[in-house]
Structure 1
């Protein structure tokens, strides 16, 4: 992050099309998970395998051995998909042939629990295919949490103070323009300060 001292691990993946060759990647990710243990970790890239049968537009009703190995790896490294927006199917068989209906979710943004805890508002975005048959992925790290405003709290003991009613009448008499609900909230906020 540009102006932060937050530390986290990032891994970029470009997996083989061959299931046997991907096994080496799964082993490497398991080693990296031990190295990054206790630290936020994001893994982004093309895994060249889907996790579920419904992540392929051509259908399918069963989980293949390659899919099971991928899911086993994710369970082992304790990583899961980040929340994301944009394209669900991140790969198209043909950019030029718009009638080609084969789409798959091959690209992912995976995070561990520590990443989610450290960056609860982080999100992924899968953008439009432009120059590649893969959807570009972006991870947005937002640590500027919007703090909710404090609720108006009224402590009963305040009502017994000698100048309580005078203060309420003085602040309530102020002229505030706007809709009735806006005026009420504004007067309560002014009264809160007083």
Structure 2
């Protein structure tokens, strides 16, 4: 469980300390939501540079929607001009001594939700850490996931390597009780032969029932979870293909 303490907030940021109550290390996090106005974003750049001077001894993570790109290759479609104010963001990152986290997933984190020639892609979302954060978690990584409800990619930040995979625990779905074959499955499980003391016989029959219910789910529920997962996978693959082939008309 995390304890979160807000330290400061403004129109374009919230900075807080997050501490693991189980004894883990504290991380200072600045969540960014940059203005669409380049003039207003200057306040954000000044703030980040100031924070760098007071966060040197703290692991500091800075992430969110900066509404700014770092380089020409961070955009596809729309206005192709490079304006002077666009230098403000990379200059701020340099002055704040921020290091971009290793990243995977989509490069273009924002899409204007249009198709064909009017399609626009931008890299507007970023994840940075200071030297203290990278020193403490050298394998820190930001994964830019496929867009679902928003026109921006969700950012999943991992400080430590992922724990070994654990199989999901069995869950009883209430809808099973209304399906044809449910009562027969229960009777079959309860009629199964079991040995040992009463508690041992009970747990044995529950394990048998779990197998019957899993088969009932596969037979009657049309693998809904699987179909949802397949549809989401296709949607993510389409976004990855567009991200890697922004000039391809079919992808757009």
Normalising by the residue count of structure 1, what TM-score does the alignment of the two structures yield?
Answer: 0.67
8 Å contact 2:74–2:122 — kept in the other structure? yes
Q: Secondary structure at the match of 1:8?
A: strand
Name the CA shift for 1:109/1:118 in 2 (closer, same or farther; >3 Å).
same
8 Å contact 1:56–1:105 — kept in the other structure? yes
Equivalent in the alignment of 2:160: 142
Normalising by the residue count of structure 2, what TM-score does the alignment of the two structures yield?
Answer: 0.52
Correspondence 1:1-194 to 2 at 5 A: 2=20, 3-58=22-77, 63-94=82-113, 97-99=114-116, 100-142=118-160
Equivalent in the alignment of 1:175: none
For residue 31 of structure 1, report the CA deviation from its aligned partner: 1.7
Which runs of 5 or more residues in structure 1 are unaligned? 146-194
Aligned-partner Cα distance in 2 for 1:76–1:62: 25
RMSD, aligned α-carbons: 2.2
Name the CA shift for 1:125/1:69 in 2 (closer, same or farther; >3 Å).
same
The size of the alignment, in residue pairs, is: 143
Aligned-partner Cα distance in 2 for 1:76–1:12: 19
Which runs of 5 or more residues in structure 2 are unaligned? 1-18, 164-252
